[in-house]
Structure 1
Amino acid sequence: MIPTRLLEDKVVVVTGSSSGIGAAVALACAQHGASAVILHHLDSTTEPAARAVQSQVEAAGAATSLVSGDIADQSTASALVAAGIAYGRIDVLVSNAGICPFHAFLDLPAPLWARVQDVNLTGAFYAVQAVANVMANQVPRGGSIVAVSSISALMGGGEQCHYTPTKAGLRSLMESCAIALGGLGIRWTIETDLNREDLGVEGKRERMIARVPLGRLGVPDDVAQPVVFFASDMARYCTGASLLVDGGVAISLQ
């Protein structure tokens, strides 16, 4: 029988969960029986949104903790781990935090390049390494780590020259981690989402929809539900796997 609550009594850490995909993932985890969800938000400007997500998650039945900080700072990963251990263990990490400030390549400032690398790739490394060390030593050991990447890991973007390398790098990082730590019972999966376009530009939404074989743009819950599957024991023989959740865009462009 297929269980209806795939994350019963599991402790889940979700980074970048004050809005969008991260918020949908946190809520979906609670709805699937997670006993605790540790939410991460970047700074005080996102706190109201993070508190709103926290209220929704608690209403769905999970205990929560908020961890404020910069994911590009290694101390934030330590704080996330401490919050998880306070609930007894960490069963799942969903590494979702990321930024994509669009900018033309020829005058792309070096500080912006560095900031995107620090948040999207180095920050993911810090979180994954910190949680993996916990999973490797807890009893019973092991767990599941899901990284939310992007279709940009597979194809370029004219105003994303600083962004797409981080998503390709994240894909490579997860595949390497699957090899390095598979023997410790830690599973790794890359969950990709729709490219984060600025849909406010006139005509861009229509052009984007025209590229999607399913005929609509994705919503955060379209990514959250596959994340729950990979985080659960239903995917216990999946590791180093990559799943496109793009409405068929990649196939249509081949």
Structure 2
Amino acid sequence: MAALPAWNLLKGKTAAITGGTTGIGRAIVLAYITQGCNVAVNHLGMPQDEKHRHSLLEEVKAIKSTGIKAGDILELPGDITDPETSSNLFKEAVSQWGKLDIFVANAGVFKQAEFLKIQPALLDHSVDVNVKGTFYSCQAAALQMVEQGHGGSIIGISSVSALLGGGFQTHYTPTKAAILSMMQSMAIALGKDKIRCNALMPGTIATSLADHDMKNPTKKAALEERIPLGRIGDPEDMAGPAVFLACEEMSRYVNATGLLADGGMYSKLQ
């Protein structure tokens, strides 16, 4: 997919994003940097993910070599289920660039499972990462933004699954609904501080979390039939909406909303 042109929409801004080396998170990181934003990236730091970390840094280097006024990147390992992870990420970003303007709570987990076979460990992990991790990181971001006193934008990556049930997602859909609800409540709590809080709600996107469906031709075809645009989304399809929600000039009155980016899938239920 074509990248968003370098329009300097986030020039001079500082952003942080969790789970930023793969999938939707990675696409947002690259879009922000292309728009002139400095980005602090959180990742788990697992040995098997080193290739993604290295390739992300190489891709950023390639963007900067084109001569555009791109932003810089820093990356920090850590598990967002530990509140210290987010605090350290923001401290590092502020230490490097002096402020935090944008935060994207992107890190999340999903593994298909039959409802009657879900064990406590799977449910706990889903809630710990998707709900508690999002809460801790958003709270830490808000504390930094309130202290600075000049507002900001917080974006929670929810899902169309916040609005739709799924037979193999009974441990997952409630966590994505929680993120949408969390952004709405945060928007009310932080409105006086000029901090906008919104949820980005992707539909079916071709990421590692959707591998199970993408590798099943029958399931993939059925999904594509449900999408009016006729295709599964790419991570890059989320970059534009994420830039929009981050850009004060474009979305300054957009607050407490859930922005669906699903190719029209949610509407095609009949």
> Per the shorter chain, which TM-score range?
over 0.9
1:48 equivalent in structure 2: 51
State how far apart, in whole Å, the 1-side matches of 2:235 and 2:41 are.
16
How far the C-alpha of 1:40 sits from its partner, in A, is 1.0
Tell me which amino acid in the other structure corresponds to 1:53: L
How far the C-alpha of 1:54 sits from its partner, in A, is 2.4
Contact (CA 8 Å) 1:41, 1:47: kept in 2 or not?
A: no
1:207 equivalent in structure 2: 222
Contact (CA 8 Å) 1:229, 1:235: kept in 2 or not?
A: yes
State how far apart, in whole Å, the 2-side matches of 1:126 and 1:160 are.
23
Q: Are residue 157 (structure 1) and residue 160 (structure 2) matched?
A: no
1:251 equivalent in structure 2: 267
- 1:198-242 Cα distance to aligned partner (Å, 9 max, x none): 211241111110100011111011111110011001111111111
1:190 to 189, 199, 208: 199
TM-score using structure 1 length: 0.95
TM-score using structure 2 length: 0.89
How far the C-alpha of 1:153 sits from its partner, in A, is 0.2
1:123 equivalent in structure 2: 133
State how far apart, in whole Å, the 1-side matches of 2:217 and 2:33 are.
37
Gap regions ≥5 residues in structure 1? none
1:39 equivalent in structure 2: 41
Gap regions ≥5 residues in structure 2? 1-5, 64-69
1:93 equivalent in structure 2: 103
Tell me which amino acid in the other structure corresponds to 1:4: W
Tell me which amino acid in the other structure corresponds to 2:265: V
State how far apart, in whole Å, the 1-side matches of 2:57 and 2:28 are.
12
Aligned length: 250
How far the C-alpha of 1:246 sits from its partner, in A, is 0.3
- 1:44-96 Cα distance to aligned partner (Å, 9 max, x none): 23232022112323443322111101111111111111121111000100111
2:253 equivalent in structure 1: 237
1:228 equivalent in structure 2: 243
Which structure carries more helix by proportion? 2
Moved over 6 A (4+): none
Q: Percent identity?
A: 40
Classify the secondary structure of the residue corresponding to 2:154: strand
State how far apart, in whole Å, the 2-side matches of 1:191 and 1:27 are.
17
State how far apart, in whole Å, the 2-side matches of 1:185 and 1:74 are.
24
State how far apart, in whole Å, the 2-side matches of 1:59 and 1:178 are.
37
State how far apart, in whole Å, the 1-side matches of 2:75 and 2:172 are.
27
RMSD: 1.4
